[in-house]
Amino acid sequence: MNTILSNLKIQVNEKIYVKDPETSALGKKIIEQSILLIDEIGFDNFTFKKLGEKIGSNESSIYRYFENKHKLLVYLSSWYWSWMEYKLVFATTNITDPKEKLRNAITIVTEKVIDDSSTEHINEAILNKIIIAEFTKTLHTKEVDQENKEGFFLIYKRVINRIVNIVTEVNPSYLYAKSLVSTIVEGSLHQHFLTEHFTNITDCNTSKSTTQFYLHLIENVLH
């Protein structure tokens, strides 16, 4: 997996950035260090000025790559879901049994990311932590409809609909395939969050357990 992914460039909608960060050393540094800084101080406290200080560069230089910090978070999220899509495709191709395919898909998407060295400048485990903590903020804005129209969330929606197709294979008569999958994808992030901060309202205490919960759930819902 690693070797294959290292040859693949994760595709992100061009409208999200001003200049593609993958095309320069500074751009990659922005991505690499923004992930670390957002994890460290949280997205709300994160500013381009602080990031500039961290990477020994200037605030204004970062603005040449991203309009604002919201767009940077959208970029990181897109990258994450694009990466997730690759993992999903790998885990499900050439598997004939729909049930096994679905189990693999659910596992990929609900598991906590431990580590992955597929990309030089991106720490996927920490990016996963950011997605757990901050992803909803990319959606919950007043501009969501406009940004959705511009395709900012295309990959996220594609990931969900890929799994929806597998659900439909397993049980074509099930009426709520989309809601089920969107609930699982979003819900598993939430369960990871609860495991970290609200242990009193979750049964999941390791990453495996979140996956087990959803595997058990989907098994029962689809018979």
Partner DNA sequence: TCATAATCGATAGTATTACTATTATATTTG
Partner DNA sequence: CAAATATAATAGTAATACTATCGATTATGA
| Contact residues: DNA, CB under 7 A | 19, 23-27, 45, 47-50, 56-61, 63-64, 67-70
Residue 179 sits in the site that holds a copy of itself (CB under 8 A): yes
C-beta closer to DNA: residue 49 or 216: 49
Whether the Cβ atoms of residue 178 and residue 160 lie closer than 8 Å to each other? yes
List the single partner that 61 binds among a copy of itself, DNA, none, CB under 5 to 8 Å by kind: DNA
> Tokens representing 124?
């996927």
Q: Is residue 194 close enough to count as binding a copy of itself by CB under 8 A? A: yes
| Alpha helices (runs of H) in 119-200, residue ranges in sequence order | 124-139, 144-149, 154-170, 177-197
Cα(209)–Cα(188) distance, integer angstroms? 10
Residue 120 tokens read as 């030089």
CA 106 to chain centre: 14
Of a copy of itself, DNA, none, which one sits near residue 145, judging by CB under 5 to 8 A according to partner kind? a copy of itself
Amino acid at position 155, single letter: I
Task: Say whether residue 93 binds a copy of itself (CB under 8 A).
Answer: no
100 touching a copy of itself, by CB under 8 A? no
- Which one among 58, 60, 141, 206 touches a copy of itself, defined by CB under 8 A? 141
* Binding partner selected for residue 117 from a copy of itself, DNA, none, CB under the kind-specific 5 to 8 Å limit: none
DSSP class of residue 21 equals G
Distances in whole angstroms, Cα of residue 166 to Cα of each of 42, 90, 94, 98? 35, 14, 13, 7
In the bound state with DNA, the residue whose beta carbon lies nearer, of 48 and 214, is 48
193 is an interface residue for a copy of itself by CB under 8 A: yes
Contact of 193 with 132, CB cutoff 8 Å:
yes
> From the list DNA, a copy of itself, none, which binds 21 (C-beta under 5 to 8 Å, kind-based)?
none
- 66-90 b/e (C-beta count within 10 Å ≥ 16 → b): beebebbbbbbbbbbbbbbbbbbee
Q: Does 6 bind a copy of itself (CB under 8 A)?
A: no
Nearest to 66 by CA among 77, 75, 57, 58: 75
Task: Report, in Å, the least distance between residue 64 CB and a copy of itself.
Answer: 24
**Residues 1, 41, 89, 125: which binds a copy of itself (CB under 8 A)?**
41
Cβ distance to a copy of itself smaller for residue 24 or 146: 146
CB of residue 162 to DNA, shortest distance in Å: 33
| CB closer to DNA, 67 vs 196 | 67
Q: What one-character DSSP code corresponds to residue 64?
A: T
